Structure formats: C-alpha cells, structure tokens
Chain A
C-alpha cells in the first residue's frame, strides 16, 4: 500500500512540477510582453509610430523610418532567399537520391541553418560592406538584404520541405499514373498542393529577417530618414550615382532598440521599449499570419489547427442539421489526446485516396466552364500540363456525370447532402485516430456539399445566370455561402493586420491624452489623427478592391473547389497589405517631413599608420538647404565646404576627430549665415566655432537650429556661500604653486607628494560605466558651461601606502568665487538600487579599466578620489589586478590610503563644471586643496 501511495504521490509531484514549469514558461511570455508594453507606454503614440526619427526633436523619438525599413529589408531578403530555398527544398525532396552528395548537402544545410547570426553578420559586413562597397554602397539595404537572405534561406528551405512532405503522395502517384513526368507533377501537383506551406515558409522567413539584429547592425547600418526612391548623384558613389533605397542605409527596428541600449543617456528607456513593443507586434503578426496560412491551406501537421478551422466554420456557416453529428464526431478525436496526436501512414494514405479522387473530380468539374478556367489558370499557380487534361477528358468520357463524386463520397466523405449514402455517416475507425485527416475530410465534404448544391440547383455550365431566376429559393444559401467564401481568406490574412491597426489606433487615441509628452502638441495630434483617417480610408479602398478581386477568384473557385485557387486571393491580400503599410508610412512621413537631401557617408576609416588622420577622407560640397548626415564612421576626417543658407548637420553616434570646414566668401559680401528659424544672422566663424564646440556635444547636433545640448546631471559646481569664499580668499598667494610643482603633505611617517600637472577645458567628457559597459557622455547641466578638468598626481614616496585626499578637499577659486565639488547621483542613468549598491561596493569599479580607456585616448575618463557615484575609488587603486584591494580607512573624511602596485603614482582627474568665463582666465584660477586641516595648498592653473 505504501508503495502505491508513494507512486501516486510521486506522480502528483511530477505533475505539479510540470504544471509549474509550464506556467512559468507561459507566464514569462506575458511578463515580457506586458512589461515591454507598460515600459514603452509613455513613448507609444501615433506620432512616435508615424514619424521618422529625423523629424523629431531628440534622438529616437520616432520610428517610422525603422518600421518601413524593417519591412522593406525583410521583404527583399525574403525575395532573394525564396528561389534558393525553394529550389533547394524541391531538389532535396524530389530529386535527391540517398547518396553521399545528398547527405553532405543535408549536412551543409544544417550547418547553414545553425550558423550564428554574428558570423553571417561579419561575413556580410566584410564582403558586402567593405569589399563590395562600390556596388552595394557600403552599409546599405542591398548588403543587409543579401546577408539576411543567407540567414533566412535555411528557414524557408526547411518550411518548404515540410510543406512538400505534407503533400499526399497519392496525389503525385496519381499524376505519374496519368503519364505526367516529374517536373509536370511538381509543377502541377506538388507546388499547388504545398502552396500554403510554401507561403508559410516565406512568411516565417520574413519574420525571422524582421527580428534579426546582429546582421542588420553590421550590414544595413542605420539612418534616421525614411527610405527614399530614386537615383541621385552622390559624391564618392560608384559612377557618381546612387540608387535609392538600395544603396542607401536603411533603419531597422532591432537597431532602434539597440540604439536605445547604446545611448541610454540620450534616449529614454521608454523609447526603446516602445520600439521593442512595435517590433514584437510586427513579428507576432507575421508569425501568426504564417501559421494561419498553414491552417487555412491544405494538410496541416498541427492538431491545434482543428480549432481554428472548426471555430471559423461555425462562425462562417451553420452546418446543416444532419452534418452536426459528423462534425461532433470529428471533434471527438481531440478529446482522446493520446490517440488524436498520432497519425500513422495508413491514415494518410486512406485520406489521400479520397483527396486524389476529389482532385480528379475537381479538375474535371473545371472543364465545362472554359472561359472561367482559362482566366483562373492565369491567376493561380496550378498550371496543368496538357497531357493531364487530355487524360482527364478521357476519364470524363468514360465515366458518367455523377460517379466520381459518388465514388469519392462513398469512400470517405459522409456528406449529409447525399441521402443515397446514409450508411457512410458512420465514421470509419481510422478517422477517430487522425484529426488532421478529419479536418481534411471536413473541408472536402463541405466543399463537395457546396459543389453538389450548386450542381443540383444549376447543372448548366453557367449556374449563376440560369439558376437564379428559376430557383430563387435555392439561391439563398448559395449567395450566403458566397459571402462567407470570400470572407474567409480575409479573416485569416487580415485579422492580425486589423488587430495591429486597431491597437495602434487605440494607442493613438488614448496615449497622447494620457501622456502628451513626446508629441508635438495638440496640432500634431490632430494632424496625426487626420492622417490616421486618411490611411484608414486608403486601407479601406484597397481592401475593397482586394475583396472584389478575391470574390472573383472565389467565384471561379467554385468550379474547382480544390486545388489552390484561393492562394491567388491570399497573395492579392498580402501584397495589398504590404503596399498599404509601406505606402501609409511613406505618406505619413512625407506629410510630416519636408524633403531633404540625404548624404550618407560611408564608414570605412582611413588612418595613417600612426593612427593620425592626415588627409580628409570625406569631402562634401554642400548646397543651401542640404542636410548632411554623418553617421557610423570611425575616425573620419571631414572636409566640408559650406554654402550660405540653412545647413543642418547631424552627427550620429560618432566621435569626430577632425573636421575642416570652409566657408567661401559669399557674393553678397556678408560674412554671415542666416540662422534657421530665428531669422537672425550670426557671424560665420562664430557659427563654425559654435559648431566645432558642439560637434561632439551630443549624439545629434544641429548647427542651424539652436544648439540644445541634452542636459544631464553632472558634477555640478555651485558657488559656495560668500562667507566661505571670503574665508578662502584669506589664503594668500604664497601658497600658490605653479602648474607642475609638487606639494608635500602627510606626516613624517607617511610623506606624500601631490602635483597638479595639467588642466584642460572641455565642452563635454565621457566616463566609462563599468557595469553597463558603455561610455556615458557627460554634457554640462547649463548650456554654455564647460568642464574644467584638473589632472592630479599623487605619489607615494616609498612607503607602502599614501594618503589620498578626498575630492571634497579640492576647490576651484576664481575671482573670489569658490566652486566646490558636488558629487551627484544620476538617477536617470542609475537605479537607486545601483547607487545604494555602489555606495557600499565602490571597490567594484576597478580603476585600471578607466586607465585603459584613457590609454587608448579614445575619450576622457573620470576618476580620482570620488567617482561619479560620489564614492571614493582610490582605496583599491592597487594597480595590480591580482592583489586584493586594500581596505584602507577613512582618515576622518580627509582621504584614503592607497597601496602602490605597478606604479607608484595615482593619476586622477577632478572635473568641475564651471561657467565659460572661469575657464577663460585660468591664470586667475586656482585649485585649492586642504590635504589636512593645517596645510592648505593652492595651485595656479596657468602660468
């Protein structure tokens, strides 16, 4: 008994754990989607979605460019990959024999499908972006599309192979039996039958391309602008011409999210989350659409698609009372999960017999309506070879008008419409076991019942014209079915689209009202609503057109209810949706944005061997109204010839090492450029100076617009109270040392030496955030302020430790004003938890990291006594990674001890934000230190 109990207990526990695991896994889906949505909510707005980034004030405030770019690049990648995926799949499934070559092909395909995206990324980067730059234009749509095509080709190939696998072999055998050769069979039977699966494969490939980030970062680049269409003359392009959008950089949503990660100081996290949410919605819709194709199409391998079909069927038409029983019976198998989940080969074969009969029936029924059939063949993929048709004619001649229908029905179609065959309403045993074939049978029987009803009411080749006046009673169900018939493909293809559109509209209506920030005010909101209405109207017009088209197709389909005619309708719908999406976004973008000339510079750096740039690499002759976008370049040097007029320059994500700008003397003799917007004029050189001062002050700069450096919290410098200033004034000049002179301090047992050896005035600086792994660009809190950086070296003089004054000990004195170091907590960068954490574990900000950055002379780094978190980092500056940090001890707030390692000195920077006026007269500026309470020192910052 106990054993039994234990066994059952074990079972219960296992089930419990399994349920827990399943709930966790699914819970994470909702957690992720929900968190992303709510985190992105503040930025989600119609304006955000329909505005390209270049039209927005900040960085990353609009993603229309990325949405359009994602769709376009994925589309091109799919188009490029489709022939290869398709051809390979057909070869592997239909032609390949099991020999060494095939097996190695299979292996190579698996290798290709498993290749990490980063590998394909740098492969594409070096080949398409660097080596083939003359053709692709460097970072470009075409480079990205080719690289993505390599990535998604195995996905498409695998899906098409599966689709071909699902084609019942009997159909093909029938084709062979009718004398068709292999290609005719593939073209006439396999491809049409597998079409839904092929479409699914393409859609999944599209989704895979849309979600990929590493590849597009390395090959497609990024642009803030909407894709342009046209050919423009561009300096440096091959032949002087550049074909847009193919040779132009293209923005993608994954890159937008990555940008939000890279530029966390400048981009609000909600922007990244909003972009991520839009991306997830797009990818989900694509994937759901792909699965819908599969379940809507022929033969599916998934049990859950029964539900799709059943619910749709229930919604679309009320089954005749007699057929309810059979439908219920077919619903039964899923209730027996274990049984329902297995489909054996024999089942498939049995089903397929019915299918092939139905197929033959279908194609024969097609015969009578010649004009319609021809039209239809032009529309669909199901081209039939002539021999097949001849064969069928022969078959038709020998058979009576009815038998084939009857035969197929007698085998597996318990159509309630045929009272002659009541016995077959009892389901055969195998149907209970195979839900897929049940679905297929249901489809077949339904189609056949429609067909039968038609032939009963209107036996003539033109049923519509003849039947309706004669039997008006019977007309009703037919027209009802008509409507449902052509609604069906739309439900499957449009539902995700409608959901997305509806969601966006709801968001557009709700969110700006909740959070108007990020939108351009009421006018913009009204404008965007108007645009939304325009877009919806366009959608409606196109949808109506597509409805009409698909109604035509489906009307024709009645003649041949089986093979693949509705794919025409599906394709029409998809193409239409893509056009609508792209067109709508381009339209809305153009409504928002005045057209600009984009000059996207290439990225390849050219440096001399010494790493110093000698000659300009990029040279632009700009015209008024030109807008130049410099982005993603490494160590570029620019030569820019400016013209009068409004010139807007944006520098994206780049450190510019040198820039030569020259202004030609203008004809008018005025040495001024009208500033944009304000109508005032500025001295040219002043503007240039302003530009150069600000060129790196933000990820994005605009010369013509008023420079708005992104304010961010900084080491603020506040004038000390007057009393303190007066007290500090009392320290006389005799303590003032010149730059480079050292000052002894400490005591006899621990003598130390301090030197202020350099100073620098910077418009901004970078510091390296260790745990977030990125530079944080620090701009002044007040526009116009600069940073005064004081380089201090404190040397140990032979003892094992030296006393380092805390940064609080330093003050800058200028004209009687004292500026004190004021540590800050940047809550926009750090969470409070991080601050709390680093306040205790400041020793986890290794000093040598900052040193490395400094050695690379890439940027300025921040360190010394106090780090940006307001904590002292010098206690662990041992200079050797393997020596454990010395704990040190606080000498009454005065400083910390260091243990020298590789070097006997510690270099530190003190950074103050000071008004530009202070930096202007460094001669009268002193850095004043109280190393201890009784020995102050003062350095003069300039001789």
Chain B
C-alpha cells in the first residue's frame, strides 16, 4: 500500500486526460463529419459566397463576414460601456455602491441568451421602429446592441478584477506626483491592467462570435453582407442552427454545416491561443 499516491495521481491524470482528449474528439469528429465537403470545396469553402444546396455550392464567405462584422460592431458598442463601468466600479464607486452594482452586473451574465433574443425581438426592436430607424424589423445594429448587453458583464467583471489587481502603491505614487485620479487611471491603472482588460475583451469577443440564439432571432437570417447598420445578415452559428434539423439526413449538406462548425471552432481556438499569448506577454512584462 505504498502505491496510493501514485494510484490517485494516475486516477486524476486519467480524468484530466479524458477531459483534454474530449477536445480532440470534438474537433476530430467535426472534421470527420465535414470532410466530404471540405475536401471537395477546398479553400472555396471559405472564399465562396454562394451557399446553395441544390447546386452543391458551399461557400461561407457571407456568413463569415457577417459573423465578424457583427462581432466587431458588438465590441464597438460593448467595450466603451464595459470598460467605463469597470473603471467606475474599480476606482470611483463608493464601496456600498460597488457592493450593490457588482452582483447586479454579474446577474446579467445569468440571463439566458434565448431570453435576450426574445427580449430584443419583441421589445427592443419596437424601439427601433418607433424611432423609424430600421428598415427592417430586425437587423445588424439591433443584434449588436443585444449582444453588447450580453457581453458587457463579462467585460465589466474581468476588467474590474484586473484594475483592482493593480497594486495601490502605483496609484499612491501617481497621486503623490500630483496626478488627478483620472490621470492616474489613464496612465497607471489601465496600462498596468491592460492584459486583463484585453483578456476580458477577447472573452467577450468569443462569446459574441459563438452566440446563436439571439442572432437567429435578431439578425434576419438574410444571406447577404449588410450594407448598413440596419441591414440584415446571417452568421455562421445561425446558419447551422437553422439548417441542421432540415438537412441532417442529407450527407452533403450536413457535411457542409459541420464545415461551418469546424471554422467556428478553429476561430475560437485561435482566440484562445491569442489569449494565451496575451497572458504570457503580460507575465513577461510584469516579470521584467
């Protein structure tokens, strides 16, 4: 019985290995399921802009561009709000207020995305049409706003943690040098917390990119590249959800839809890799 440590180590290693291998299983299976179309379409799968089941053309360029556009617009809206809120909570808010606001913001994370979508579809969109802004009932800007509401809590929570993690000595030194609070925040706190802030933004980006339900409900599912803020679009995630149930029994369309999933997964892996780069860069910087 001198083995138990090794036994438990082996056990836990096994569990961790199974978990890690799950990622390979997922990506492998996605590739396997997508192989028929990926091999025939090749790079055209990415660069083609025609998606037609009848003519066997599968090009996701429109969906890809729409996904990226939507994510970018979401971040454009969400990042200023998120970082300003985080800044306020971390630097200026009285403790009692921070104690109230922080849990509330975290609660926003818990609202299911399908509820966000439903809310956006039936309530927020009416605001748009009331203002005679939108040419469609739903569209790009509406979706981006709803997605922004969805990802802002992520940005706020993580950025606030990052700013809070900046040692007070830095602030004290800056203020002792005569800087105002804002100057301290701008030139000391934010640079020091920058990796954390970037991490929060990347995580928010990943969430916006992978969001499905709200986008299905709000973006219009109109396969074109939006010409304006109020135009409609069609993202990769929405394409999968809308079509997979109809086409699962047809091998080729199914493979094409799994090809989209492969692309999403690879983009997400890239984002994670980027995140790790940021982290290691931050570590290196703080170490230096």
Contact = CB atoms under 8 A, between A and B. Distances in A.
Contacts of A634: 245-246, 248-249
Nearest to A184: B4
Contacts of B76: none
B268 A125 contact: no
Nearest to B206: A114
A890 interface: no
B12 A304 contact: no
A339 B169 CA distance: 10
Interface in A31-59: 32, 35-36, 39
B164 A342 contact: yes
Contacts of B173: none
Nearest to B26: A123
B136 A844 contact: yes
B23 interface: yes
Contact of A844 (B135, B152, B272, B276): B135
A304 B18 CA distance: 37
Given A110-B276, A115-B265, A116-B210, A123 B29 contact: yes
A116 B101 contact: no
A22 B94 CA distance: 13
Contacts of A276: 112, 114-115, 118-119
Contacts of B152: 25
Nearest to B273: A107
Interface in A864-923: none
A232 to B, nearest CB: 26
B29 A127 contact: yes
Interface in A337-366: 337-342
A837 interface: yes
A114 B276 contact: no
A150 interface: yes
A144 B79 CA distance: 34
Interface string A590-611: 0000000000000111110000
Contacts of B84: 17-18, 20-22
Interface in A110-142: 110-112, 114-123, 125-127, 130
Contact of B19 (A11, A88, A269, A339): A88
B258 A181 contact: no
A291 B16 contact: no
B65 interface: no
Contacts of B101: 22, 26
Contact of A269 (B122, B257, B271): B122
Contact of B95 (A94, A122, A218, A334): A334
B19, B135, B232 — which one has the most chain A CB atoms within 10 A of its CB? B19
B74 to A, nearest CB: 14
Contact of B137 (A35, A119, A211, A834): A834
Given A92-B16, A116-B264, A118-B212, A272 B244 contact: no
A15 interface: yes
Given A19-B88, A21-B81, A304-B102, A115 B26 contact: yes
A260 B103 contact: no
Contact of B241 (A7, A211, A214, A341): A214
B29 to A, nearest CB: 6
Contacts of A24: 81
Interface stretch (A278-286, A406-414, A555-563, A691-699): A278-286
Interface string A668-682: 000000000000000
A254 interface: yes
A339 B240 CA distance: 49
Interface string B156-168: 1000000011011
Contacts of A11: 180-183
Contacts of B82: 21, 25
B163 to A, nearest CB: 9
A35 B119 contact: yes
Nearest to A81: B19
Nearest to A333: B95
B275 A119 contact: no
A686 B268 CA distance: 57
A338 to B, nearest CB: 5
Contact of B111 (A87, A280, A303, A339): A280
Contact of B92 (A15, A288, A606): A15
Contact of A182 (B8, B15, B20, B89): B8
Interface residues of B, number: 113
A118 B23 contact: no
A150 B14 CA distance: 17
A194 B19 CA distance: 22
A22 B118 contact: no
B42 interface: no
A35 B123 contact: yes
A108 interface: yes
A15 B182 contact: yes
A735 interface: no
Contacts of B22: 112, 150
Interface in B167-212: 167-168, 171, 180-183, 185, 203, 206, 209-212
Given A105-B16, A273-B118, A831-B129, A126 B258 contact: yes
Contacts of B211: 116
B17, B108, B137, B258 — which one has the most chain A CB atoms within 10 A of its CB? B137
Contact of B12 (A28, A90, A119, A125): A90
A15 B112 contact: no
Given A18-B87, A95-B9, A273-B122, A213 B112 contact: yes
A283 B221 CA distance: 29
Interface in B1-59: 4-5, 8-9, 11-20, 22-24, 26, 29-30, 33
Contact of A287 (B4, B107, B258, B264): B107
Contacts of A280: 110-112, 115
A91 interface: yes
B29, B272, B275 — which one has the most chain A CB atoms within 10 A of its CB? B272
A303 B99 contact: yes
B6 to A, nearest CB: 10
A604, A607, A772 — which one has the most chain B CB atoms within 10 A of its CB? A772
A221 to B, nearest CB: 11
A119 B212 CA distance: 10
A112 B123 CA distance: 34
A395 to B, nearest CB: 24
- Nearest 5 A/B pairs, CB to CB: A116-B210, A87-B15, A18-B88, A21-B84, A211-B112
Given A107-B276, A108-B19, A272-B122, 13 more contacts: A26-B101, A28-B149, A29-B108, A32-B149, A35-B123, A118-B212, A118-B237, A119-B26, A119-B264, A127-B29, A261-B114, A276-B112, A291-B103
18 contacts: A7-B180, A15-B182, A18-B87, A32-B149, A96-B16, A108-B19, A112-B19, A119-B30, A123-B29, A211-B113, A257-B114, A261-B117, A261-B121, A280-B112, A304-B98, A605-B249, A771-B138, A833-B132
Interface of A: 7-8, 10-11, 14-15, 17-22, 24-26, 28-29, 32, 35-36, 39, 83-85, 87-88, 90-92, 94-96, 104-105, 107-112, 114-123, 125-127, 130, 150, 153, 157, 181-183, 186, 207, 210-214, 217-218, 254, 257-258, 260-261, 269, 272-273, 276, 279-280, 283-284, 287-288, 291, 303-304, 307, 334-335, 337-342, 603-607, 632, 634, 770-773, 831, 833-834, 837, 841, 844
Interface of B: 4-5, 8-9, 11-20, 22-24, 26, 29-30, 33, 80-82, 84-85, 87-89, 91-95, 98-99, 101-108, 110-119, 121-123, 126, 129-130, 132, 135-138, 149, 152-153, 156, 164-165, 167-168, 171, 180-183, 185, 203, 206, 209-213, 216-217, 220-222, 232, 237, 240-241, 244-246, 248-249, 254, 257-258, 261, 264-265, 268-269, 271-273, 275-276
